[in-house]
Amino acid sequence: MSDSLLQIDNVTVSFQGFKALDSVSFSLAPGSMRTIIGPNGAGKSTLMDTIIGRVRPVSGRILYKGSDITRLPEYEVVRRGICRKFQTPGILPTLTVEENIIVAAKRHRAWFKALRTHITAAECDRVEEILDLIVLREKRRMLAAHLAHGAKQWLEIGMVVASDAELLLLDEPAAGMTHQEREKTANLIKRLIGRCAFVVIDHDMDFVEQLNAPVSVLHMGRILCEGTIDEVRSNSQVKSVYLGRSLEAEADYAQA
Amino acid sequence: MTEFALLTGQAFNGISLASILLLVALGLALSFGLMGVINMAHGELLMIGGYLTYMMLQVLPHGIGYLFGMVAAFAGTGIFGAILEMTLIRRLYGRPLDTLLATWGVSLIMQQGARSIFGPIGDEVTAPKWLTGSLNVSSGALMGLSLPVVRMFIILLSAAVFGLIVFIILRTRVGLLVQAVHQDRDMAEALGINTRRVDLAVFALGSAVAGLTGSALALIAPVTPTVGQNYIVYAFLVVILGGLGSLLGTLFAALLVGIFSAGCQIFTGVSTSDVLLLLFVIAFIQFRPRGIITISSRSLEGS
Amino acid sequence: MNDKSRGALIIIGISVLIVLLISRVRAQDSTVKVGVLHSLTGTMAISEVTVKNATMLAIDQINAAGGVNGKQIVPIVEDGASEPAIFAQKAQKLVQEDKVVTVFGGWTSASRKAMLPVFERFHGLLWYPVQFEGNECSPDIMYSGAQPNQQILPALDWAKQKGYTRYFLLGSDYVFPRTANLILKKHIIHDGLTVVDEEYVPLGGTDFSAIVNKIQAAKPDIIFNTLNGDSNVSFFKQMAAAGLPPAKLPVMSFSIAEPEAKAMGPSIVEGSFAAWNYFQSLDDPASKKFVAAYKSRFGQDSVVDDPMAHGYLDVYVWAAAAEKARSFDIDKVRKAAVTLGWKDVVMGKTKFASNQSLYQTAYVGELQPDGQFRILWNSSAPIFPEPYDPLTFPGKKCLIH
Amino acid sequence: MARLERIAYPAALVLLLLAPVYLGAYNLALLGRFLAMGILAMGIALVWGHAGILPLGQGLFFGLGAYGIAMHLKLVALAPGEIPDFMQWNGLDALPWLWVPFKSGVIALVGALVVPSALAVALGWLLFRRRVGGVYFAIITQAMVLAATTFIISQQPYTGGFNGLTDFSSAFGFSLIDQRTQVGLYVVTVLLLALLFFTARWLLSTQFGKLLRAIRDGENRVRFLGYDPAPYKVAIFAVGALMAAIAGLLFTLNIGVISPAMIGVVPSIEMVVWVAVGGRESLSGAVLGTLLVNFGKDKVSSSFPDLWLYLIGAMFVLVVTVLPEGLAGIARLLTSEPREESRKTLVVPVILPADEPAKNSKSRSA
């Protein structure tokens, strides 16, 4: 079909008549990044749900590496190489940091292949690498439930990366973080560019700016405009969507 | 009695059973829908209602006494439910499986308590005069058909209770709060709604309805310490079939189960029809795992 | 020390405690121990506790009169918890651990069937007080409850005399009703009468709407009712609601006795019939003494019924047999018991036949507004017990002695 | 000190194996019975404690195992051409086809284990695949055990009905009346318990075990990591069913009777209480809880029948509200400070069919 890794064609999602997504289309090249911003209720999370197979569109289709994944179950979508990070940290609280990553890094996910106590050398290397990447090596034996909030987010990013996905969907990866933590998160993501492609959603403009990637603005389920962060900031339509509030104010609101 | 009358009679019986199941399941559905709580002691709330009615009839004359019995059952069981919610259910919020086990323990204690107080043998609530007798068809295609007044009364009662609850939910301020909490608990909390009080109110209302139901059931069955056990599993099935605490779904599910059972019993015995009912429910879940009434919702975040 | 090993220590500690608990030292004395094994908890507790009371009353009376063979009876009461497996377990305990000389107990056939192998294996003796479906013949059980030919078939004889020809058989779904109805059907058809329908409800079932419907369609002359417990209340209420009270459509019940009638409120079952081998209203001096003693001990408003009378009778017969045998040896007591001859313990003249079942008189009673039965009919003489109905199970015989 | 653990378990095993020496016949039989139930309890600990699936119908699998072996025992006691007595009383004159294979002891043994496991796989597959979990699953298993009991009772000519199956004389050539057989059976029970205990521990230590806990705590997260949780849940549910069936088999051999009263709704939920008392995640706790509750019942219920019912009710409430970790939790409190990383609660998230937490559900009507 095309060279794009992910292609979204005219996807519409409707909840009891309310169009959460309305003819959304965009595509993403391998190894690239796209950020999506928009106010609460704009449909950002629904977009991710739709890509991953959690929500079924009423029309339109989603192509991944040229094949149609619109109606596959979640785990099947994931097995093809798309992985998603949740807004609230989606870690496994009763496992240790290390075990969390192992679960994500495992190649064979059928239950009967899990009937062993040890993991392969390749998986082991992978785990070590991820631990370094997310800088949680010292806390590897700690239960994930006891990590600080920021560390939980990084752990989840680590898990997503460990799953060897080619496309990562990050849903507000910096939500609820301190300023320093945000910076750290942004750096973490930037280090990963090239290794895999990203779709990042957030409403924190500053954070999105740090990522330095093309931006789409989503509003009322539609893509309002696309471009660099500066282009988007100066777009009058975007400004009016935010009800006259400046985007900086919106960003502050999000941080509060 | 004509074949047609037999079938009509069974259709009536199906609706009658459905009305009983609806009454039993309504309270369950309310608390399940709102709090995700399955109350295994719900059957014992029926029992309390039955015994309260029985006690009222000991002090008041028959006829009018039964009406007071119903009121006492409604109010008394409602208060009991409120106490149960405040002392136990509330502590287990967010742990539905634990609530299930704890309320089962409560039901055992309540059964034994009733045994200690009222004795193991059931007590008898005699239907007042105006609820005895039946409508009999003595000629025509429906010859031989006989519709007991007491069953018609229970059908009407369940319709009235259902209507009342729908009215409360859709048309009153309290109902608005309930809807708000039901749709998004966190948001409702953020808006300053005291969700605890809403939970309490709904649980008490559900309990009160159970008490009223116990009062009605006393007209057709004995009041015993274990009376609740006879209905509870079927009521759960109704709730599951109905969908996540949806009132309309509960109504449809009660009708479905009632008419299915009555239909089966034309051809088979009661035991076989119970087994068929369960197979039917499992088969149904294959097609609609979330129950009859589901509303495709925007899946929220979190795992 | 880590938690796991500490946990393991605790585990050892608790294990030792359990071992100590169960291997506690038992005291010996010069009295004679008997077992009383009934359900004190669970669904059957309702009925069985009253039989236990009657049994305990008899034991106390005998003790007050000097005991048996000069020894005071010490009853060891165990709870069968309405579960056959628990009955088997407790029977084993009574025989093996407590070394009782005999056991009084059981109500459901399920509990008796579960206990039977235990008594046969460890050689014990059980006195079983409840009417049942027959088809059993064990040397280790004394069957004082009625066999089918002492309760069900006499009731059918009575119904035939009254001219009823169309029979509707209704029962709870378990062994006694199904077997009783199997026997009834054979006899009804053999006598040229009609069984219009046969229906069963799960134990404890309360919805009779479909069955009432079927009864209306089948138009029987009489219903033979083997429903158990609470189901009866629902059934009679729902019949009355449909315009078919017992006065209009007669019902002959085999599991409704005085306590059930009292609890149900006689008004809804008034005018219905019951067949038993004992009614509280029986005009018999021994019965009157029993009723008075029971009331003075368990309350003036308590009532007695057939299984209680049998539970009471069993103790007296056992004591008499032990006196006659001058021993508590099981085999000697069994032999003595079947050779005691006629006695009026509580329900008129009775004696154990050589098949270890009881000769007894059958009665049909009609329920009165006061909750007591008016005795309408009785068999002309005590009936010989037939564990195997000759018409239904030809060629089967129970030969013990 | 893992060394102490290495001593404790063999010590417990030796203590149990020597029980025939220091226990009387009755208490030995009792202990054997309860240890058999302990196997079932370990199964519940796996399914409920580690996979977060509350099974309220384990009695069914227990019963299938028990009936499987009981049918065989009933048949071996017969002379050729005879049929079991209860069938005669119900008017049958030939052995029903379903019974014929059970003449073979091997088939009966295999059947008693395979049938319940297969049923668990079928049920689990039907429900977990449709993402039915949490209270829904619990209620359906309860309804299932109710229906099964009703069905067994109603099919009296084929199942023995309410009376169940009883009166066995020998099993696999050993006389059941012989005390030596009972001792042998006890030893087999203890060894099986030990074998299954260590197998279960191994299972939990594998990746499979970790994934079970992961699925319990975050089914969606696991799903979004590319796992299909359904087969994991089906597998552990089947393991639980198999363990229940083994328990049923041993129990029946030990006590010589199986009837519907032992497999109904109430016994099934009581089985969960044994595990709750012991600590839902602890295998040894499950066994100990089983012993404690059952010995307690045996000793208390005859002397204080009313008290016992209050006690068991209170146990449900207390264990869930105050002591979610049961005996295992007490052991931890008594012996050491709570672990730094021990969880505060044992919250098992709501897993509704839609996989949405209940509080987030969005249906319009309340």
Q: Best mutation site among A51, A55, A58 for testing chain B: the one with the most B CBs within 10 Å?
A: A55
Does B38 map to a domain?
A: yes
Q: Taking 70 as the threshold, does the pLDDT of residue D286 lie above it?
A: yes
* pLDDT tens string B162-189: 999 999 988 888 888 888 888 778 778 8
For C290-299, D58-67, D164-173, D350-359, which range has the lowest pLDDT when averaged over its residues? D350-359
| Of residues C153, C42, C201, the one with CA closest to residue C108 | C42
Number of folded domains in chain C? 1
pLDDT at C64: 95
Closest partner residue to D366 (CB to CB) among B34, B98, B279 is B34
Query: Which residues 226-245 of D are in CB contact (within 8 Å) with A?
Result: 226-228, 231-232, 235
* Segments forming the whole domain that contains residue B182: 3-228
Q: Which residues of C touch B128 (CB under 8 A)?
A: none
Residue A199 CA: distances (Å) to CA of A202, A215, A216 = 10, 10, 10
**pLDDT: which is higher, B297 or D278:** D278
Q: Taking 90 as the threshold, does the pLDDT of residue B35 lie above it?
A: no
For B264-273, B292-301, C82-91, C329-338, which range has the lowest pLDDT when averaged over its residues? B292-301
pLDDT at B179: 83
Give the Cα separation of C261 and C267 in Å (integer). 9
Q: Taking 50 as the threshold, does the pLDDT of residue A125 lie above it?
A: yes
Q: Best mutation site among B4, B13, B266 for testing chain C: the one with the most C CBs within 10 Å?
A: B13
Does B298 map to a domain?
A: no
Q: What residue ranges do the domains of chain D occupy?
A: 2-354
Q: Taking 90 as the threshold, does the pLDDT of residue B273 lie above it?
A: no
Tokens of C340: 């005691």
pLDDT band at B146 (very low <50, low <70, confident <90, very high): confident
* Segments forming the whole domain that contains residue C174: 149-276
Does C9 map to a domain?
A: no
DSSP-based helix, strand, coil % in chain D, nearest 5: 70, 0, 25
Q: Are A215 and A201 in contact (CB under 8 A)?
A: no
Closest partner residue to A15 (CB to CB) among B297, B302, B303 is B297
- How large is the average pLDDT for residues C113-124? 92
For B45-49, C392-396, D360-364, which range has the lowest pLDDT when averaged over its residues? D360-364
pLDDT at D189: 96
Query: Which residues 84-143 of D are in CB contact (within 8 Å) with B?
Result: 123, 126-127, 130-132, 134-136, 138-140, 142-143
Average pLDDT of chain A to the nearest whole number: 81
Average pLDDT of chain C to the nearest whole number: 90
Backbone angles phi, psi at A35, to 5 degrees: -110, 145
pLDDT at D130: 84
Q: Are C210 and B15 in contact (CB under 8 A)?
A: no
Cα B107 from chain centroid (whole Å): 16
Q: Which residues of C touch D298 (CB under 8 A)?
A: 89
CATH of the domain at C241: 3.40.50.2300
**Side chain identity, residue D160:** G
Output the CA torsion sign for C219, C221, C224, C230: positive
- How large is the average pLDDT for residues D178-188? 91
| Of residues C241, B300, C282, the one with CA closest to residue A46 | B300
pLDDT at B299: 34
Closest partner residue to B299 (CB to CB) among A54, A87, A171 is A54
Q: Which residues of B touch C259 (CB under 8 A)?
A: 121
pLDDT band at B220 (very low <50, low <70, confident <90, very high): confident
- How large is the average pLDDT for residues A83-99? 81
Q: Are D80 and D234 in contact (CB under 8 A)?
A: no
Give the Cα separation of C32 and C102 in Å (integer). 10
D-B interface (Cβ pairs under 8 Å ≥ 3) = yes
Cα D254 from chain centroid (whole Å): 16
Q: Taking 70 as the threshold, does the pLDDT of residue D11 lie above it?
A: yes
Query: Which residues 219-238 of C are in CB contact (within 8 Å) with B?
Result: 219, 230, 233-234, 237-238
pLDDT at C219: 92
Task: Please indicate if any CB of chain B lies within 8 Å of the CB of D272.
Answer: yes
Does B257 map to a domain?
A: no
- How large is the average pLDDT for residues A165-181? 83
pLDDT at D81: 82
A-C interface (Cβ pairs under 8 Å ≥ 3) = no
Closest-CA residue of B relative to D358 is B36
* pLDDT tens string C199-233: 998 888 888 988 998 998 899 999 999 998 778 88
Average pLDDT of chain D to the nearest whole number: 85
For B149-158, C144-153, C236-245, C292-301, which range has the lowest pLDDT when averaged over its residues? C236-245
Residue B234 CA: distances (Å) to CA of B254, D77, D147 = 9, 40, 11
Does B36 map to a domain?
A: yes
Q: Which residues of B touch D320 (CB under 8 A)?
A: 92, 98-99, 101-102, 105
Query: Which residues 170-199 of A are in CB contact (within 8 Å) with B?
Result: 171
| Of residues D158, D172, D181, D163, the one with CA closest to residue D77 | D172
Task: Quickly count helices (H) and strands (E) in chain C.
Answer: 13, 15
Give the Cα separation of D140 and D127 in Å (integer). 9
Q: Which residues pair with C374 in a beta bridge?
A: C366
pLDDT at A225: 85
Closest partner residue to D205 (CB to CB) among A90, A91, A117 is A117
Number of A to D CB contacts under 8 A, please give it. Answer: 93
State pTM to two decimals: 0.86
**pLDDT: which is higher, B291 or D202:** D202
| Of residues B191, B204, B155, the one with CA closest to residue B11 | B155
Does C205 map to a domain?
A: yes
- How large is the average pLDDT for residues C57-82? 94
Task: Please indicate if any CB of chain B lies within 8 Å of the CB of A19.
Answer: no
- How large is the average pLDDT for residues C65-76? 94
Q: What is the ipTM of this complex?
A: 0.84
Task: Please indicate if any CB of chain D lies within 8 Å of the CB of A193.
Answer: no
pLDDT at C2: 55
Task: Please indicate if any CB of chain B lies within 8 Å of the CB of A144.
Answer: no
Q: Taking 60 as the threshold, does the pLDDT of residue C281 lie above it?
A: yes
Does B95 map to a domain?
A: yes
The full 3-state SS of chain B, as one line of letters, equals: CCHHHHHHHHHHHHHHHHHHHHHHHHHHHHHHHHHCCCCCCHHHHHHHHHHHHHHHHHHCCCCHHHHHHHHHHHHHHHHHHHHHHHHCHHHHCCCHHHHHHHHHHHHHHHHHHHHHHHCCCCECCCCCHHHCCEEECCCCCCCCCEEEHHHHHHHHHHHHHHHHHHHHHHHCHHHHHHHHHHHCHHHHHHCCCCHHHHHHHHHHHHHHHHHHHHHHHCCCCCECCCCCHHHHHHHHHHHHHHCCCCHHHHHHHHHHHHHHHHHHHHHCCHHHHHHHHHHHHHHHHHHCCCCCCCCCCCCCCCC
Query: Which residues 112-131 of A are in CB contact (within 8 Å) with B?
Result: none
pLDDT band at D342 (very low <50, low <70, confident <90, very high): very low
Task: Please indicate if any CB of chain D lies within 8 Å of the CB of B245.
Answer: yes
Average pLDDT of chain B to the nearest whole number: 85
Does B255 map to a domain?
A: no
Give the Cα separation of A199 and A202 in Å (integer). 10
Closest partner residue to C241 (CB to CB) among B151, B224, B229 is B151
* pLDDT tens string B69-101: 999 999 999 999 999 999 999 888 778 888 888
pLDDT at D316: 87
Does C313 map to a domain?
A: no
Query: Which domains are assigned to chain A?
Result: 6-255 (3.40.50.300)
pLDDT at C280: 96
Task: Please indicate if any CB of chain B lies within 8 Å of the CB of D214.
Answer: no
